[in-house]
Amino acid sequence: MSQYLIHESNFERLSKKLRTIENKCNKYNIGFKFNVIGEEIKEVEIDSPEGKETVSVKYIVVDVEGTVKHNDWTFVAVVDHKEAGNVIRQYVTDLEVPERYYTTDKVCEHCNTRRNRKDTYLVYNEVTGEWKQVGKSCLEEFTNGLSAEAVAQYISYFDRLIEGEAVPSGSGYERYYPVDEILLYARECVRHFGYWKTDAERSTKERATDYYRACTGGIVVSKSYTARLFEEMREVNFNADTEENTRFVESALEWIASTTDNNSYMHNLRTICSEGYGKYKDLGILVSLISTYIRQVERDAEVAERKQKAADEASASSHVGNIGDKVKVEVSSFECVYSQDTMYGPCFLYKFVDMIGNVFMWSTSKWLADDAQISSLSGTVKNHDEFKGVKQTFLTRCKVVCA
């Protein structure tokens, strides 16, 4: 069994060709198994108008199994005779070709004649373990039935597979970009230039991709434009490959992988981020992970701050006085936590915190400006209550003193 990588753009066309060759091979009792087993992204060097460039492309991985065999003789390889030595084009890879064939002359070991042959065939007897180098015209006679036509069909099958490995010239191929590396560049772009959506004049997707290609040996549009990209990066000390960026991207990918939000955007983002590589058309969604995760981190920090504030209040606040007592509060802070319109007019619920953290509540129709400089509050204890673990002293008939 042999494994081949077929470039994705060649696969559909090649599959049809291989099926045709298979049908011809069946006439000679040559059985083939052609199975797709997966996909693989590889970096290859291509020729662009401005020079050579390394790009990531996708291949379809296929397993191929088949033999040309007759009367215990199996066709193994073609010997391409050259002045400097022989090139052994082996089609059965699980057999070790004897070294003598690396330099053997253009001699058919069946008829023992030397001719000006371009190549000869190597065959192997599975019963006796014997190897023979034979000419094309002697193949069928020597093996009692292994025809040159059958071998030709067999060879053409593998030749087609080898052709399928080639990346199309020009722009007839799809580039693939490593998700984690593009995100490093996107993170650094956001740090220096902010986040810009794909419909912006210079989007984060475009900038991050251009910088990535320039920094990894690619040529972006032209040499002059690539030089301009490097100048842009120098001006802001651009460096995508930092520990801070790496930690951020790793955390962002872990976060999106663990989310359960199932709206279409989050679903698409989670799917694209789960792939090792992405197409250019997917990079707009991919780089949006940076701004989405930044907002999530900010929200988490706000929630944590509120929880900590509530915990601090809960530990600091105690009930003050007895019901009916008159108390005076030295105010540290205050806020309106609730308001509504009633049949008697507007009603406001204020929260006051004194200098040692005790919480006081006052419900009144009196409006207090948010920026009022309140120094003290005097009132009568109406009742004691507790909200989310925070002890509260409710006051009534209060008097406010401003600084």
Q: Find the mean pLDDT for residues 322-339.
A: 93
Q: Find the mean pLDDT for residues 135-149.
A: 76
Query: What is the per-residue pLDDT for 367?
Result: 92
pLDDT tens, residue by residue, 42-77: 777 766 655 666 777 888 887 777 777 777 888 888
At residue 154, does pLDDT exceed 90?
A: no
Angle of CA points 259, 261, 262, to nearest 5°: 125
Q: What average pLDDT does the structure give for the chain? A: 85
Query: What is the per-residue pLDDT for 110?
Result: 87
> Residue 246 burial by CB count (10 A; 0-12/13-18/19+): exposed, middle or buried?
middle
Q: Can you give the pTM of this predicted structure?
A: 0.57
Query: What is the per-residue pLDDT for 261?
Result: 82
Query: What is the per-residue pLDDT for 258?
Result: 93
Q: Find the mean pLDDT for residues 27-43.
A: 75
At residue 225, does pLDDT exceed 90?
A: no
pLDDT tens, residue by residue, 66-109: 777 777 888 888 888 888 788 888 878 788 999 999 888 888 88
CB 312 within 8 A of CB 352: no
Q: Where are the beta strands (DSSP E) in 213-313?
A: 277-279
Q: Find the mean pLDDT for residues 278-304.
A: 91
CA distance readout (Å), 262 to 8, 78, 256, 258, 282: 31, 57, 11, 12, 18
Q: Which is more confidently placed, 328 or 114?
A: 328
At residue 328, does pLDDT exceed 90?
A: yes
CB 91 within 8 A of CB 76: yes
What gap in Å lies between CA 138 and CA 43, rounded to an integer? 44
Helix-then-strand count for the chain, H and E = 9, 17
Lowest-pLDDT range, 135-144, 347-356, 390-399?
135-144
pLDDT-based confidence at 26, cuts 50/70/90?
low
